[in-house]
Each structure stands twice: as structure tokens, then as C-alpha cells.
Chains A and B, each alone.
Chain A
């Protein structure tokens, strides 16, 4: 008996879209014009938001989900997938984004958290979610809640790649550590990490995250993009790094090429030439603890 009925929004279609984005660059955009520029430069998807992280940081106050009208205009402007951010734990914002038909929801620390104890139960949604993490334990907790894609947090809006590197190394190092454990040690590891045992077992057996592993937060140059890819990022989110630079179109194209040819230094050199000024950057060490976005979420 052939089952001709479609099964929508299965786990495989959610993770599948993340698979399709691999090797690509997802760009933050605040207007339909930006979205067109990003698409023309070769972005695999855009993240629609009202202010890029550098401006959220400068502006202060509570950062929330964007105006649905702006998100709809961006969805109408491009044919590539459109993502949008909901506050951590803000179930209703995520429902609104799903109703708008966005292709991915980012439950993001870049916005002000709405719940200081619980993240969204992402299994309850048809739209897939991406969540940030600083290490393997946080990644596996988010996957346990239903995230179909993980991105290391980095420190958004700084143009400083140091946190992106720290978080990616923590995830990859954590995977290597689990691979090296004996099977009887895994339950204790799961207990210490505060993560589901089944996911710990899966990482132990496969040597990789159960969902695609992308990188975000602080990528400003083609060389930054190449660095994160070499460290194990399967694709990249670039936020303020493009539209806060002096020549967004050239920089966007260069970062796209660097993401594909990350292991070919001659190509990286070629596309890094004469790009003009990168975004105005902030040295992480100059920031107060309370200004660090990556500390949001748990």
C-alpha cells in the first residue's frame, strides 16, 4: 500500500533545510533593499531584523522581534529563505513568525530574553529553529528542545571573532572528548553536562553534532570566514560585518567566496584586496560582563 499522503514539517525536512544552507553565508538585513543586495551577492538566506546587532548594542533598551510588515516585505523581495529572530523563551513571538511563513526562526540571545528559565519547546512548531550555543552541552540542550540547526554564539555586533573561535573550539573539543570516552562513562558525562543521554551517545558514536553546526557573532572579514570554516563551521551567519562596512556589496561577495574556498589561501587573498574599512569594531576586553550577549541563554 502506497502512502501518498504528504507528511509536512518532519524532523527530516527541518534538518534538511539546514543541510541545504551548508557552505553558505546567511546575512543580516534590515530592509528589502539590503535583502536584494545580499541575494545578489550570493547569500544562501537572509536574517530579517530591525537593527543589526551593532546598532542593538549602541541603541540599548529592550530588543524585540521585528515588525511583521518589514519581515513580509523582505520575504516578498527575495527568493532565498528568510529567517527572523524571536526572543529566548518568547513562545508568542515564535508563533507570529511561524504564522508569517518565515523559513527559520532564530531563538536569539541578540534580542533581550523573555524568559530567564526556559527556552522555547521547539518540537511544538512546524517551522524549524536555530539556536546559539557556547559549548557542546548548551548545543545538545537546544537540540533536545528541538533546534534543527545550531550556531555558535560568538559575540554579535563587535566585529571581534575571538568569541566565535572560543565557542567553536569548545563545541568541537567537546565532541572529541565524548568520542574518547568509554560507553559506561557517557551517563556521567550526560549528567555533568546537563544534556540528554541519547544525544551524548549519538555524538560519541558519530563524532559530530546531530544537526548542522554553523558559526555566528563577530565575523567581519573574508579571513574570519575562512578561519571559522577551517575550525569546523559548516556555514556562517554574518550580521553587522557586511552592512556596517564601507563597501557592503564587495564585502558580501568576498565573504561568500571565502566561505566556499576556505582552505585556499590564494583565493582568500584575492578577495580580501581593497575591500575598504570593515565595520567599526569593539575589542571584547573593553566590554563589561553585562554587555556580553552570549551570556544570555543557558
Chain B
């Protein structure tokens, strides 16, 4: 396995299951990880993950601590971004029925808590385009799904006709939580996006 210690993956650590992502990355591909709570830390990263958590809480902290604009700019400049659950909500341009703060960088519309409340949280096998082998284990917790896509969004995963995984250029998002399982493939896919972005930047 290739190890790139020169690649640093930032995990937004304002709130949520950032430790689970950190642990997952320690098992996949050997990139360095950094828990990010400031703009200085953000600028040290080649790719960023927005974890699961409460999207309203993370959004407010992003604004209050002046991280949101630099993060948006870095993503628009091509830095790869992966969002799980709350992360997917924060990436979306449209959030049904909500005016909450968001990055608004991805051409998707999402519905929050779209499968129901906690008692409706579930696990299911999710076939995932571009990943070899078995479907991924999808852990859905008060999960959103994507109701609409436009632009260059590629649909990677569906559950019962609901879109739960997408990619748009340098952005990857899932409504479920691979970081809560032992299956590292989605994170490895993201690492490959980061490696390719770093290679592209050094060989223009």
C-alpha cells in the first residue's frame, strides 16, 4: 500500500464524530490527519472531511470562528472535500425548509432527517458505483438524502431510489457513515481524489 505522509487530511473538529474519521483514516492509506478548528489548521490540509454531527451546530461554529469563507474558497480552488451526513447537508446548495448556514458548494438539494427520527435509523447494504467488490455497509442515523442534483453531479449510491452518495468534481458526499464501520473503501476513494488533486497541482 502506498503511504503518502506528505498528504494531510483535515477533519473538521468543531463538533461530531471527527474521532471516528481520524481512526478510519489511520486504517486506510496512511495519510496524515489533522483535527481542524482554525483557519491556520485548515491551510495545512490537502483535503478536508466534514464529519457527521449536528449540521446546525457545526454551521454556527464555522461562522462564529470565521472558518466558513476560507473553507469555501479552498474547496472552490479545488481542494477535495468529503462530507458524511451533516457534512453532506453543509455542502448542499439547497436544504429543504431550512435557512441554516451552509457552505453551499455542491449542486445538490437535500432533505434533513429524511428517513425519520432516531427510531427509524437503520443499516443496509448499499451498492456503491466506482467501488470494487461487495456493497458498502450503510449506517444511516437521522440521515438526510439528496432530492435533486444538477451540474456535474455524479450519483454514486442509492437506497430504495433515494440518492445517498454523490460526487461532483473534487467533492464527495454520503448520507451514511462509513467511518462507523470497518470498511475503508469510501475513505480510500477520497484519499485517491486528494492524491490526484495534489499531483495535478504539482504538475499543471
Interface residues of A (CB under 8 A from B): 2-10, 12-14, 16-17, 19-24, 39, 42-45, 79-81, 98, 101-104, 126-128, 253, 256-257, 259-261
Q: Are B122 and A7 in contact (CB under 8 A)?
A: yes
A8-B122, A101-B117 provided; 16 other pairs, C-beta below 8 A?
A2-B127, A3-B124, A8-B120, A9-B121, A14-B121, A19-B20, A20-B17, A21-B53, A22-B18, A23-B16, A44-B54, A44-B57, A79-B113, A81-B142, A128-B118, A257-B65
Q: Majority SS of interface residues in chain A?
A: loop
Q: Which residue of A lies closest to B141 (CB)?
A: A16
Cα A6 to Cα B141 in complex, Å, equals: 12
The reply to whether A42 and B121 contact each other, CB–CB distance below 8 Å, is: no
Determine whether B173 belongs to the interface, using a CB cutoff of 8 Å to chain A: no
Q: How far is A180 from B65 in the complex, measured between Cα atoms in Å?
A: 41
Cβ-defined contact, A22 with B56, below 8 A:
no
Chain A residues with CB under 8 A of B15: 22-24, 44, 259-260
A44 to B122, CA, bound (A): 21
**B127 / chain A contacts, CB cutoff of 8 Å:** 2
| Residues of the A chain whose Cβ atoms lie less than 8 Å from the Cβ of B65 | 257
Bound-complex Cα distance A39 to B57 (A) = 8
Give the chain B neighbours of A10 by CB distance below 8 A: 122-123
Cβ-defined contact, A13 with B112, below 8 A: no
Q: How far is the CB of B94 from chain A (nearest CB, A)?
A: 16
Interchain Cβ contacts under 8 Å between A and B, 16 examples: A2-B125, A8-B119, A8-B120, A10-B123, A13-B118, A13-B140, A17-B118, A19-B180, A23-B18, A24-B53, A103-B117, A104-B118, A128-B118, A253-B64, A257-B61, A257-B64
Tell me the bound Cα distance from A154 to B37 in angstroms.
29
- B123–A6 touching, CB < 8 Å: yes
A12 touches B54 (CB 8 A): no
Query: Which residue on A lies nearest to B85, using beta carbons?
Result: A20
Is B70 located at the chain interface by the 8 A CB criterion? no
Q: Which residues of A are found within 8 Å of B92, using beta-carbon distances?
A: none
Shortest distance in angstroms between A3's beta carbon and chain B's nearest beta carbon? 5
Residue from the list A80, A103, A104 in contact with B56, Cβ < 8 A: A80
Residues of chain B touching chain A, judged by Cβ–Cβ distance below 8 Å, are: 13-20, 37, 52-54, 56-57, 60-61, 64-65, 85-86, 98, 112-113, 117-125, 127, 135, 139-142, 160, 177, 180-181
Q: Is the CB of A12 within 8 A of B135?
A: no
- CA–CA, A120 to B105, complex, Å? 46
- Max chain A C-beta neighbours (<10 A), residue from B60, B85, B141, B180: B141
Contacts of B112 in A (CB 8 A): 79
Q: Which of B14, B52, B54, B141 contacts A80 (CB 8 A)?
A: B54
Nearest CB of B to A37, in Å = 13
Tell me, rounded to whole Å, the shortest Cβ–Cβ distance linking B185 to chain A: 16
Contacts of B14 in A (CB 8 A): 23, 260
A252 to chain B, nearest CB (A): 11
Q: Using Cβ atoms and an 8 Å threshold, which residues of chain A touch B142?
A: 17, 20, 81, 103
Q: A8-B119, A257-B61 are in contact. Are A23 and B53 (CB under 8 A)?
A: yes
Check if B119 sits within 8 Å of A16, measured CB to CB. Answer: no
Q: Are B61 and A103 in contact (CB under 8 A)?
A: no
Residue with the greatest number of chain B CB neighbours at <10 A, chosen from A5, A6, A20, A128: A20
Q: Is the Cβ of B53 less than 8 Å from the Cβ of A16?
A: no
The 9 closest A-B pairs by CB, nearest first: A103-B118, A6-B122, A13-B121, A23-B15, A19-B17, A44-B54, A42-B60, A8-B122, A16-B141
Q: Which residues of B have CB within 8 Å of A128?
A: 118
A16 in contact with B180 (CB, 8 Å): yes
Which residues of A are found within 8 Å of B64, using beta-carbon distances? 253, 257
**In the bound complex, what is the Cα–Cα distance between A127 and B37 (angstroms)?**
32
- On whether the beta carbons of A12 and B139 are closer than 8 Å, the reply is yes
B13 touches A23 (CB 8 A): yes
User: What residues of chain B lie closer than 8 Å to A19, measured between beta carbons?
Assistant: 17, 20, 52, 180
Query: Nearest-CB distance from B125 to chain A (Å)?
Result: 5
Determine the chain B residues whose CB is within 8 A of the CB of A104 once the complex forms.
118
Contact present for A24 and B54 (CB under 8 Å): yes
> Bound complex: CA of A98 vs CA of B119, how far in Å?
8
